[in-house]
Amino acid sequence: MESCIPPKNHIIIIFDILIKDYSLQTIIYNFLFGVFGVCPSCGVENCFKIHSNYFKYYYWERIQILVLYCKECKKFHAVIPSFSLPGTSLGSQEVEQLYIGVNNNQTYLEAGKGLLENGISEDHLGYIVNKTIPRMINHMQTMFPGPRQTSEANYAAIAYDGLEYIEYFLRPDTCEQFILKINSYCLSHQVNAIFCSRYNIINFTKRKSGVYNSNKITPSSGDGIALDST
Ligand SMILES: [Zn+2]
DSSP string spanning 165-230?
Answer: HHHHHHTTS-STTHHHHHHHHHHHTTB--S--SS-S--B-S---TTS---TT----SSS-------
Judge whether residue 198 has pLDDT over 60. no
Residue that finishes a domain, picked among 42, 58, 81? 81
Report whether pLDDT(154) > 90. no
Q: What local confidence, expressed as pLDDT, does residue 29 receive? A: 95
What pLDDT is recorded for position 208? 35
Domain housing 9: 2-81
* Mean pLDDT on 190-206: 63
Question: Is residue 39 located within the same domain as residue 96?
Answer: no
- Residues 184 and 98 placed together within one structural domain of the fold: yes
- Number of folded domains in the chain? 2
Distances (CA, A) of 183 to 13, 22, 151: 9, 19, 25
69 CA to centre of ligand 1 in angstroms: 8
Separation of CA 74 and ligand 1 centre (Å): 6
102 within a domain of the structure (yes/no): yes
How far, in Å, from the CA of 40 to the mean position of ligand 1?
Answer: 7
pLDDT at 126 over 80: yes
* pLDDT over 90 percentage in the chain: 44
Question: In this structure, is residue 153 part of a structural domain?
Answer: yes
- Domain assignment present for residue 100? The answer is yes
CA of 152 to the centre of ligand 1 (A): 36
**What rounded mean pLDDT belongs to the chain?**
79
| Entry pTM | 0.78
Residue 173 resides in a domain:
yes
> Given phi > 0 = left and psi -120 to 50 = alpha, else beta, which region is 122?
alpha
50 within domain boundaries: yes
Q: Say yes or no: 76 and 96 in one domain.
A: no
Give the integer Cα–Cα distance in Å for 22 and 80.
11
